Amino acid sequence: MQDIRSKMARGAVWMVGFKLFDRSIGFVSTLILARLLTPDNFGVVAMATSFTSVLEMIGAFGFDMALIQRKDATRAHYDTAWTFSVLFGTVLALLMVALAAPMAHFYKQPGLVAVIATLATGSFLQGFQNVGVIAFRKEMEFGKEFRFLATKRLVTFPLTITLAFVLHNYWALVIGMTTSRAVDLILSYRFHPYRPKFSLAAAGDLLHFSKWLLLLNFLQFLRDRSSDFVLGRFAGPGALGLFSVSYELANMPGTELVAPINRAVYPAYVKIVHDLEAMQREYLSVMSMICLLAIPAVSGVAATASIVVPLVLGGKWLAAVPILQILAFFGISQVMQSNAYALFLALGRGDIFARINGAYVVLLIAALLSFVPHFGAKGGAYSYLAAALITLPLGIGVILHQLRLSVLRFAKEVWRPLCASGLMFALVQAFSHTPSSDLGSARLMARMGIAAGLGIASYVAFIAALWWLSGRPASSAETIVLNRVHERLIAFRKRA
């Protein structure tokens, strides 16, 4: 058990390290691209990817999760998963090309035909990716996965930026995305020695596990991308571009930081799934750490939106300020539910997660159709927030029931980060609420630096005070962080 926890902790560090690396590059990329391109350019790409993502859901059986969950997976299982991937990738590419013209007509954007056809090439190439790289997660070799993912990012980032400087239109994004798929394919065979063969010998086993994953992936797509269809249809590419970029910025410090933790946690959950007490302990430990790190980050985005938008995106994006603030609050609800996917899959209850997501999607689409025609991108942001607030208690309640945990025991792990983040938000918001659009870049950077310093210092002070008043619980995330910092300081002194 201790070995599993140690691997999970190291894996979380590797994956969080990659995500910080990835999002740092993504932040710089967004900063540059937003200055070079317009909201309409981002909107056109969002229209194309919303359509291609729908078709990709056809082949989203989640065979990677099935191979990780299955302890006795053989070469037949890996080869079958790869064969399905190749078949689906080929079929999807053909469907994209065939349906490109109807989608261009739906959005009233003739240029989408060529864009979708180009993206189809990427889907075809993605189908041939080496299935062997899944073993990095299955065997909890996250250092190797970090190097694999980071190398791809380092190759594709400079290409996209260079194309943006040269082309000054959405083709920079399109070519960059397609190239990323090609690089992913090449590196997968470079980093792992496994060489797959065509086989369908284990089709029955994989499809039996993956039937719920297909539904879950489709529902997840609707959660994330249904706004693209509604906004693109009723509000146009400009509003969709504002929403898409705001959504990315709002999620960057929250769920994007949490995702790598969950990526590392899932294999560990699978190994202890039959030990209820261990599952309870690990779930609460993971949730307390997620809340401690991610909720203040998302709250900070909401508090500094009036500075972040003109500083990062420029004056032409000022309409994104209220959208970013609303979506940041939505991001907090996502942080609270972020660990549910890995947990339910490890328990073998993907059906429960599918039902919860189904309820959310129904509420979301109803809200989008009601608010977007009247309020545009801001209506889309309110739709996401409203649907999340309604389903959040349901999702947490089901998790607690499955793990036989009391509400009080769960609340003890998360109330301090929530309260400290709320106090921090109020303090930073009071400093940042004045209009910043008339300030120059230097003054905006200085203002952002002060706001960030104030937010970090106040959150640390508030969380430390609440932790102290709570009796300094030994199993809390705060104690774990303090112990790790103390260990690092001792090691540093010894080396010095």
pLDDT in tens, 383-422: 999 998 888 888 888 888 888 889 898 888 889 999 999 9
Exposed e or buried b per residue across 37-59, where buried means at least 16 C-beta atoms within 10 angstroms of its C-beta? bbbbbbbbbbbbbbbbbbbbbeb
What is the DSSP annotation of 29-69? HHHHHHHHS-HHHHHHHHHHHHHHHHHHGGG---HHHHHHH
- Of the ranges 15-19, 368-372, 388-392, which one carries the lowest mean pLDDT score? 15-19
Task: Report how far apart the first and last C-alpha atoms of the chain are (Å, whole number).
Answer: 34
Which pLDDT belongs to residue 421? 92
Rounded to 5 degrees, φ, ψ at 433 are -75, -20
CA dihedral defined by 236, 239, 240, 242, rounded to 10 degrees? 160
d(CA 478, CA 484): 10
Which pLDDT belongs to residue 2? 46
**pLDDT at residue 18 greater than cutoff 80:** no
Residues 6+ apart with CB under 8 A from 483: none
Q: Number of C-alpha atoms within 13 angstroms, CB side, residue 347?
A: 22
- Of the ranges 189-203, 207-221, 386-400, which one carries the lowest mean pLDDT score? 207-221
Rounded to 5 degrees, φ, ψ at 414 are -120, -10
Share of the chain above pLDDT 90, in %: 6
Which pLDDT belongs to residue 42? 74
In 3D space, the residue among 2, 10, 135 whose CA is nearest the CA of residue 71 turns out to be 135
Residue given tokens 């938008």 in the structure block: 309
**pLDDT at residue 308 greater than cutoff 90:** no
Residue given tokens 């946690």 in the structure block: 265
- Judged by DSSP in three states, 79 sits in helix
Greatest alpha-carbon span in the chain: 67
- The amino acid at residue 357 is N
Q: Across 204-218, 263-277, 466-480, which has the greatest mean pLDDT?
A: 466-480
d(CA 388, CA 364): 8
Q: Number of C-alpha atoms within 13 angstroms, CB side, residue 187?
A: 19
d(CA 359, CA 395): 10
**pLDDT at residue 457 greater than cutoff 90:** yes
Which pLDDT belongs to residue 494? 76
Query: Tokens at residue 484, please?
Result: 């790790």
If one compares 393 and 33, the residue with the highest pLDDT of the two is 393
**pLDDT at residue 27 greater than cutoff 70:** no
Average pLDDT of the chain? 79
- Of the ranges 1-5, 149-153, 274-278, which one carries the lowest mean pLDDT score? 1-5
d(CA 38, CA 32): 11
d(CA 359, CA 448): 39
What is the DSSP annotation of 275-333? -HHHHHHHHHHHHHHHHHHHHHHHHHHHHTHHHHIIIII-GGGTTHHHHHHHHHHHHHH
CB contact at 8 A, 250 and 327: yes
- The amino acid at residue 77 is H
Tens digits of residue pLDDT in 310-330: 877 777 788 888 888 898 888
- Judged by DSSP in three states, 78 sits in helix
Q: Number of C-alpha atoms within 13 angstroms, CB side, residue 141?
A: 13
The Cα-based distances of 193 to 70, 136, 187, 267, 293 in angstroms read 21, 12, 11, 22, 36
If one compares 130 and 344, the residue with the highest pLDDT of the two is 130
CA dihedral defined by 75, 77, 82, 83, rounded to 10 degrees? 110
If one compares 29 and 161, the residue with the highest pLDDT of the two is 161
In 3D space, the residue among 177, 313, 341 whose CA is nearest the CA of residue 250 turns out to be 313
Which pLDDT belongs to residue 419? 93
Which pLDDT belongs to residue 263? 66
Q: H helices within 168-202, ranges in order?
A: 171-191
